[in-house]
Chain A
Amino acid sequence: MANVPNPEELTKVEYRPPLEPWMDSKAEFKKGAYCNAALPKWLEILDYPYPREWSVTDEDWKLPENWKEIFLTAFEDRLDRFRSFRLFMDICVRCGACADKCHYFIGGGDPKNMPVLRAELLRSIYRRYFTRAGKMFGKLAGARDLTEDVLKELFYYFYQCSECRRCSVFCPFGIDMAEITILGRELLSSVGLNIEWIMASVGSCYRTGSHIGAPPHAYKDTIEFFEEECEEVTGIKPNPSFNRKGAEILFVAPSGDYFADPGTYTFMGYLLLFEYLGLDYTVSGYAAEGGNFGYFMSHEMGKRLNYKIYAEAERLGVKWILGGECGHMWRVLNQYMDTWNGPADFLEEPVSPITGTKFENAKATKMVHITEFTADLIRNGKLNLDKSRNDHIITTFHDSCNPARALGLFEEPRYIINNVCNNFYEMPEDTIREKTFCCGSGSGLNADENFELRMRGGFPRANALRYVHEKHGVNHLSCVCAIDRAVFPPLLEYWVPGVDVTGVHEMVANALVIPGETERKTDLRFRPLKGFESEETEDD
């Protein structure tokens, strides 16, 4: 990461597009702006086509001999299967409203990162091979031949889209770049072009149970470690069960929450909350992954990973499923799970065992978002909360792309934050809720080698955070997304040092007064609470 430009250099963005027409320019693979090629072993595990050793920077990508035919056949197939795809290929008027809505364009200025043009990369091929005008008039009709250079360009730019859907909010026809990117990546997959970061996660998740490759026993081990950490802070040791049949609720969290700080604190928050409630729940080493990197490479792979949740719920005989804080996980659970792997007739309509509230909005998928669950608890006065325990936290809330634009979960997290924390400030209006900015690393782009692109993509979010940081002294960014919790720390260290990242349930557990707990002097991260700062220094 030595050759990453500093923030000052990175904010000198050239938005003026080059004079050379876009169809004539080849993609230039800039170091720090692409992800490495997938290793063959993952493709073999997953039965994905054309596993081979190749490298993005090589001239020869070792494509299958008839790659063009495969690509175009797969293209036609997707056109026949997805109305969205066919429509979005047909109706764009290139008004340009989406151009400056993409965080990669705002932070990088590469004109092919304007959503309209990123889509045109594929549309030009659509016109050439699937429309009469394109076949007849070629370039004049905005069509171009599919060549290896074009394929490389597609690869480069479809892995510079984080499927955040912000452009779709502003498009007068609702054209969704995320949909085009998902299908574009499927097409790339069909000729054996995948990135390692996604494939490794998917391959690991498929077999071991989670993206991070933790098999059931390791998963249990990790959680037991959290139990001890919880005990150290609160004196209370949560007692979750593993793969237990007959539990009322199956709890599924994204693996990011038990992989690394600060996600782990959120996981500790879940455990403490459940312990406080005496919830009859279990976690599973098979459905150990709420997130779904499979969805970042193809619909099929998304389905194959998502399959485990219902399958495991059925095997364990639980009544309903509770899902942790995660962004794309909730897009999948909301918009795809039931269609892919439902109907979940073997489950019951979710009812909170504590408050008796029926979650009627989840009566088909039978899966409840944990912020809904907790908001309901707070609303019914079931939680004894001491807000002052979060007084060292001045927070803002980052709406993650998917809960915002593919579910519409805005109020629950805010309601919870307002009930557990005294200092909450919103970022500027144009950067929150449905207009929220991506962390810059979503959709499987959070690989280290992709660092510069991630910093550029995260710039708009960081810049809005900078505003409340300076104005209100905000020192925490709270969010309900595991990828956020994984990628914001380096991003904020780069752009807005001094701001930490926290999950909503970490703050809940900080504030939660659990009967029988020891006096809390620190938060879950062992940072002194307000009023206990001096004691901490004495201990040192």
Chain B
Amino acid sequence: MSEEKKEIINSLKETGFYKPGKIYDRGKVIAGIVVFIIVAAFPFFYNAGKAAKMPEPKLDTPVIRQLPEAERVCVLPKQEMRENHMVLLDEWRDQVVREGNREYTGYTGKKYTISLQNTCMECHSNYEEFCNECHQYTVQTPACWGCHIQKPKEWAG
């Protein structure tokens, strides 16, 4: 601090120059900060002591087990299915309901009949261990079951 500034400060001191020291309205301010900490760091508190469990969607169903190793593929590559299956399902719905077209050619060239319950779930018949595993993890409710009613396979048309 320059001498000059010190001098000015000294002259101000006579007129009540004030340097803050303590926290005013202590109770309210601290309560506010605590609320801020709890809100801002809520996820940290919430997860404390919990080890994150990674989802492991299971492919272990009777139909898949019967398939030869080389044919155990879906309509699209695995990574693409992970990212985009909901879009595909949405497109399929439009294609079937509006155009009546149930044909789809997979990336391997294989032809599939579009049907959630008869095609998709023929292989992936383990809804709990396959679909739900990730959907619960990412807290996303699939919109499928707003229309589709899960029925025993033998009832399906």
A117 within 8 A of B: no
A411 within 8 A of B: no
Flag if B15 contacts A300 (CB, 8 Å): yes
Cα–Cα distance between A70 and B7 once the two chains are bound (Å): 10
Flag if A73 contacts B18 (CB, 8 Å): no
Flag if A81 contacts B4 (CB, 8 Å): no
Residues of B within 8 A of A81 (CB): 16, 18
B148 within 8 A of A: no
Cα–Cα distance between A74 and B17 once the two chains are bound (Å): 9
Q: Which residue of B lies closest to A86 (CB)?
A: B20
| B1-40 interface with A by 8 A CB criterion | 2, 4-5, 8-9, 12, 15-20, 24
A66 within 8 A of B: yes
Interface string of A110-124 (1 = CB under 8 A from B): 000000000000000
Interface string of B89-103 (1 = CB under 8 A from A): 000000000000000
A448 within 8 A of B: no
Which DSSP category, helix, strand, loop or mixed, fits chain B's interface? loop
Closest Cβ of chain A: how far from B7's Cβ, in Å?
9
Flag if B5 contacts A77 (CB, 8 Å): no
Flag if A69 contacts B17 (CB, 8 Å): no
Residues of A within 8 A of B18 (CB): 77, 80-81
Cα–Cα distance between A300 and B12 once the two chains are bound (Å): 12
Q: With A74-B12, A77-B12, A300-B15 as given contacts, are A69 and B5 in contact (CB-CB < 8 Å)?
A: yes
Interface string of A61-74 (1 = CB under 8 A from B): 00000100110011
Flag if B9 contacts A73 (CB, 8 Å): yes
| A215-258 interface with B by 8 A CB criterion | none
Contact of A73 among B8, B19, B24 (CB under 8 A): B8
Flag if B20 contacts A80 (CB, 8 Å): yes
Residues of A within 8 A of B17 (CB): 77
Considering only CB atoms and an 8 Å cut-off, how many residues of chain A contact the other chain? 10
Flag if B5 contacts A80 (CB, 8 Å): no
Cα–Cα distance between A80 and B2 once the two chains are bound (Å): 20
Cα–Cα distance between A69 and B4 once the two chains are bound (Å): 8
Closest Cβ of chain A: how far from B95's Cβ, in Å?
49
Flag if B8 contacts A69 (CB, 8 Å): yes
Cα–Cα distance between A300 and B18 once the two chains are bound (Å): 14
Residues of A within 8 A of B15 (CB): 300
Flag if A73 contacts B20 (CB, 8 Å): no
Residues of B within 8 A of A74 (CB): 12
| A38-74 interface with B by 8 A CB criterion | 66, 69-70, 73-74
Residues of A within 8 A of B20 (CB): 80
Cα–Cα distance between A81 and B13 once the two chains are bound (Å): 12
Q: Which residue of A lies closest to B18 (CB)?
A: A81
Residues of A within 8 A of B12 (CB): 73-74, 77
Contact of A80 among B8, B19, B24 (CB under 8 A): B19
Closest Cβ of chain B: how far from A298's Cβ, in Å?
10
Residues of B within 8 A of A300 (CB): 15
Closest Cβ of chain B: how far from A185's Cβ, in Å?
16
Q: Which residue of A lies closest to B13 (CB)?
A: A77
Cα–Cα distance between A73 and B16 once the two chains are bound (Å): 14
Residues of A within 8 A of B4 (CB): 66, 69
Residues of A within 8 A of B16 (CB): 81
Cα–Cα distance between A80 and B16 once the two chains are bound (Å): 11
| A490-525 interface with B by 8 A CB criterion | none
Closest Cβ of chain A: how far from B146's Cβ, in Å?
41
Cα–Cα distance between A418 and B64 once the two chains are bound (Å): 91
Closest Cβ of chain A: how far from B42's Cβ, in Å?
24
Closest Cβ of chain A: how far from B125's Cβ, in Å?
56
Residues of A within 8 A of B19 (CB): 80
Q: Which of B8, B17, B24 has the most CB of A within 10 A?
A: B8
Cα–Cα distance between A66 and B3 once the two chains are bound (Å): 12
Closest Cβ of chain A: how far from B117's Cβ, in Å?
54
Cα–Cα distance between A489 and B90 once the two chains are bound (Å): 76
Closest Cβ of chain B: how far from A90's Cβ, in Å?
15
Residues of A within 8 A of B2 (CB): 69
Cα–Cα distance between A81 and B9 once the two chains are bound (Å): 14
Cα–Cα distance between A70 and B8 once the two chains are bound (Å): 7
Residues of B within 8 A of A77 (CB): 12, 17-18
Cα–Cα distance between A300 and B16 once the two chains are bound (Å): 10
Cα–Cα distance between A77 and B5 once the two chains are bound (Å): 12
Cα–Cα distance between A77 and B15 once the two chains are bound (Å): 11
Cα–Cα distance between A335 and B4 once the two chains are bound (Å): 36
Closest Cβ of chain A: how far from B8's Cβ, in Å?
5
Q: Which residue of B lies closest to A73 (CB)?
A: B8
Residues of B within 8 A of A73 (CB): 5, 8-9, 12
Q: Which residue of A lies closest to B9 (CB)?
A: A73
- Chain A positions within 8 Å of B, measured between CB atoms, are 66, 69-70, 73-74, 77, 80-81, 83, 300
- Chain B positions within 8 Å of A, measured between CB atoms, are 2, 4-5, 8-9, 12, 15-20, 24
**Could you write out 20 A-B pairs with CB less than 8 Å apart?**
A66-B4, A66-B8, A69-B2, A69-B4, A69-B5, A69-B8, A70-B8, A73-B5, A73-B8, A73-B12, A74-B12, A77-B12, A77-B17, A80-B18, A80-B19, A80-B20, A81-B16, A81-B18, A83-B24, A300-B15
| Beyond known contacts A73-B12, A77-B17: 15 more, CB 8 A cutoff | A66-B4, A66-B8, A69-B2, A69-B4, A69-B5, A69-B8, A73-B8, A74-B12, A77-B12, A77-B18, A80-B18, A81-B16, A81-B18, A83-B24, A300-B15
Closest 3 CB pairs of A and B: A73-B8, A81-B18, A80-B20
